Structures are given as structure tokens and as C-alpha cells.
Amino acid sequence: MAALFDRERANTEAQMAAEQQERKKYSERVTQLEESLEEQKRLAKESKREVGRRRTLFDDEMAQLRQAHAREKRAWEEDLDRERNTVRALKDSMAQNSTAHLTMEATNSALRTEVQRLQDQLRESQQRTADVEAELIKQREAVVEIEGELREAESLRRKLHNEIQELRGNIRVFARMRPALQHQGNSLATVRFPNPKEARSIEILSAGESATGTATMRTFQFDFDHVFGPDATQRDVFDEVQHLMQSVLDGYNTCVFAYGQTGSGKTHTLEGSGLPTANYEASSVSEGAGLIPRAVQMLFATAEALKDKGWSYDFSGSMLEIYNETINDLLGKADPKSTTPVKHEIQHEKGRTTVSDAVVLPLSSPQQVFALLSRASARRSVAATLMNERSSRSHSVFTLRVRGSNSTTMESCDATLSLVDLAGSERLANSGSGDDPRRLKEAVSINKSLSSLADVIAALGQGKAAGHVPYRNSTLTWLLKNSLGGNSKTLMLTSLSPVAEHLGETVASLRFAKLVNGTIIGTAKKVRASE
């Protein structure tokens, strides 16, 4: 029984120990749960505080959003009001535009009709343009054909022009009576010009006496290719000469020389009242311009016009002086008055005359020609005599060489224009040169060269019967050999003084001119570039 009691007690103790153990665990568990609950309470408090804080933030955000919403609402309401106003304005505008649209439709309809009409006109214009273009093609073809005919006509004109010049004679003679100066009005010779329309004759009346002592009037009549009275202008003279100048561009050597006594107006006829200045306009020359500026202007202008026919020309020039039988190059650097002048030789070859060491300058415009002539004139030998305050004491020869080629017809030419201002013939007693040894030497040299010129002309007039032609008797005639010997178209301009005191010299000049006018020297030949 005791054992059972002990076992029971032991079981009870074991059970109590187990319960205590269980109670301890439970107590620990309760403690843990309390601690966990306290932690959860703490966390719940913190979460509550965080929720409160976030709620506060949320309330602030909500307040801000409500304010922003209120602002946006006001803005949208304002926009809506504006849009409503805009809509009302648009409705009003639409009402107005509706009326305008009806008007525009009517206008558009009218414009469509106008466009259709314009399109019809355009088609008609295009058709007319096509017709015009077709006609233009025909016209261009016709122009090409006409240009060919013009080139042929130009060649024919050149041929006929030179045939006319040949019929008129290779040496043509013009006579020109200069007007009287103011102080010469009461001392004029009696001169008449019969048949002024033909302008070919001049009559000089000279007082004399018969074998019985009766006073008589002798009449000297001379006929030339043309006679210019005192009223003739520089233009009148050039109008008669310009056809001869054309021969230069056609390839024929041409020579014009002025002859006459001192003070008869030779230089005035050739140069006029001074050469043009740098302000010269190529389209015109002054009324007082002489033969040289007018010829230069015409040659350059004609050469420019002939470009359309395929011609291209090059010009070059030289200026020489024959003083006391010596040639001076007026364009050279040497002083013509030097005691040791440069010696120049005259050479003739194949119809062309050249002078050794003479300066030849290329010329591209009339202004360059006039500058050349002014430069040369300033170096020419002149002096005062009783008959002329500025008498030329030398012969001057201006030579303009013209070389041309035609790229279309393959023609070419190479010719020269020689313009010769002869020193004035004079009687020593009248000019006063006999009182000055230097002037005397000049006068003798001038008269000798002019006498040699007369001898050459006389020999040429006799033809083969004369045999030898004395070209070498003077530097002047030797230089002009090709101009006088049939290889050039030549014109002599005889200048005459109207003063009674000079009547003897005037008649002598006219007689020499008559001799020249009756001289036949042959037919000039065209000079080609290859010659």
C-alpha cells in the first residue's frame, strides 16, 4: 500500500513538476506574448503617429489640390467664357462669310469664265507663237541667204567702186580756193567759178596790156575733177574724197597729197582747225575738222561696220618728214634737228614702199591716231615767212597701213593710205627767205623737190616716149614712186590763194595741177596680204 502510495505520490510529484514546468513555459509564453503585445502596441502607436502624420500631409495635399482645382476651374471657366465669346464671334463671322461666300462663288464663276477665255487666248497665242517661230526660222534662213547675197554685193560693190575710181583716173586733181582773210578783203584777185553745179572749172582774170599798150584782161580757165570755191566747207571736201578712202579698206594703196604755195591752206585742208583731243567722240567730228581726222574716223567706223560681213582689220601708222632732202622719223627718239640725224633708206618691193628704221605703231582707235599726229606735228620743221607766220619748211608723209581678212570669204587685203602735206612752193622775193641763209637753203630744197615732182609727172604724162622717169632726182619723188607710178590711187589737192599779189603763184599752181590731171599712170592693183 505504501508502495502504491509512493507511486501515487511519485506520479503526483511528477505530474506537479510537469505542471510547474508547463506553467513556467506558459508564464514565459505569456511574458513573450505580453512583450510582443507591448511591441505591437508600440508599433501600433508609431503607426498611428505615422498615419496621423500622413493624414496631415494628405490633408495638406488635398487642400492644395482643392486650391489648384479651384484655380483651374476658374481658368477653365474663363477659357469657356472666352470660347463662348469666340463661338459667338465665329457665328457672327460665319453669318457674314456666308454672304461673302455667295459673292465669292459668283466672282469665282466669273473668274472661271475669264480663265477659260484666257486659256482660249493662250492657245491662240501659242498657235500664233508657233506660227511666228516657224516664220522666224524661215526669216533666219532668209537672213542667212541675204547675208550671203550681201557679201556677194559687198564684193561687187568693191569691184564697181574701184572700176569707177579707175574710170575717173588714177591721179585725180581737186582745186580749192581758200577764203580771204579779214585784212585781205581789198586785195583779192578776180576769180570766177563757171557752172557751179558741176564745180569743175575755175577762171582767173589777170590785167595786162597788148602790144600797142592797150589795157587788156586775160582769162585763164582750168578744168579739174572738182573745184571748191571759198565757200566750200571741210565736209564738202571730204564728201568728194571719202569714196577714194574706201579703196584703202578694199585693198588698194591710196595717196592724197596737198600742193600749193605757202599760205594757201594745205595744212588746214588736211588737218583742219586743230586735231581732235582726248575728249574726241568717235561718232562725230567738229565742223572745222580736216581731211585726216574725217578719213580716220570713217575708216575705223567702216571697219567696225564690216565686222558683220566677216571682215577684221588691223591698223598701224608712221609719220615721216622730208627736210632738206633728208628723211626724219617724227615718231622716233632721235632729234630731227640733230647735226647727226639717223639715216633712213627708202626701199620699193612688190608695189610696197618701206623706210628703214622708221617707227611703225599699232593703232586701235582714232584717238591713238590723233595722239600720233599731234606728237609728230610738234616735231615738224616750221618757220615764219613774209607769206605765212607758220610756214611748213618740210614735206610730211603720214602713212596708215590697213590689213584686213575675211573669215567667211577667206579674202585678205593689205593696203596703205598716204597723206602728204607738201611744203609750200614760194618765190624767194615774196617769202623773204633770200635774206636768211637757213631759210634760203630750205626754200631751195623745197622748190627743187617740187620741181622734181613736176618732172616726174611730165615724164609719166609722156608715157613710153619719156623713157626714164626721174624718181631719184629728189627724196620726195623717190618716196612717192609707188603712189605716182601706177600702183596707187592718187589724189592731188591743189590749194589756191585768193590774194591778187599771189596771182602768179596761183596760176603756176593751176598749170601744174592741169599737167597732173592729164597724166595717165596706169591701173592700180589690189594688194593682198600674201603679197
Model pLDDT, residue 388:
39
Q: Average pLDDT, whole number, for the chain?
A: 82
Say whether 261 counts as a known binding-site residue: yes
Model pLDDT, residue 405:
92
**What's the pLDDT tens digit per position in 143-164?**
888 877 776 775 666 566 556 6
Task: For the chain, give the percent of residues with pLDDT over 70.
Answer: 83
User: For residues 475 and 491, what is the distance between their CA atoms, to the nearest angstrom?
Assistant: 20
Model pLDDT, residue 257:
87
Say whether 464 counts as a known binding-site residue: no
- Say how many C-beta atoms besides its own lie within 10 A of residue 56's C-beta: 10
Say whether 504 counts as a known binding-site residue: no
Q: 337 or 444: whose pLDDT is higher?
A: 444
Say whether 260 counts as a known binding-site residue: yes
Burial label for 155, CB within 10 Å (0-12, 13-18, 19+), is middle
* Residue 480, C-beta contacts closer than 8 angstroms, at least 6 positions apart: 255, 257, 418, 420, 453
Q: Once rounded to an integer, what is the mean pLDDT over residues 305-330? A: 91
Say whether 432 counts as a known binding-site residue: no
CA angle 267, 273, 274 (to 5 degrees): 85
Q: Once rounded to an integer, what is the mean pLDDT over residues 293-320? A: 92
Model pLDDT, residue 288:
84
Q: Once rounded to an integer, what is the mean pLDDT over residues 164-180? A: 76
Domain boundary assignment for the chain:
23-137, 169-517
- Say how many C-beta atoms besides its own lie within 10 A of residue 67's C-beta: 10
Say whether 332 counts as a known binding-site residue: no
Q: Once rounded to an integer, what is the mean pLDDT over residues 453-481? A: 83
**What's the pLDDT tens digit per position in 72-124?**
888 888 888 988 898 888 888 888 888 888 888 888 888 898 999 999 999 99
CATH number 1.20.120.1730 is the correct assignment for the domain at 169-517: no
**What's the pLDDT tens digit per position in 485-505?**
766 788 899 999 998 888 888
Model pLDDT, residue 169:
55
Confidence of residue 55 (pLDDT cuts 50, 70, 90): confident
Say whether 262 counts as a known binding-site residue: yes
Say whether 264 counts as a known binding-site residue: yes
Q: 388 or 203: whose pLDDT is higher?
A: 203
Q: Does 185 score more than 50 pLDDT?
A: yes
Q: Which residues pair with 195 in a beta bridge?
A: none
Alpha helix locations (H) across 378-493? 428-431, 437-462, 475-479, 481-484
Model pLDDT, residue 432:
46
In this structure, the strands spanning 395-406 and 311-323 are antiparallel
**What's the pLDDT tens digit per position in 368-411?**
888 888 888 777 754 334 343 334 678 989 999 999 999 888 88
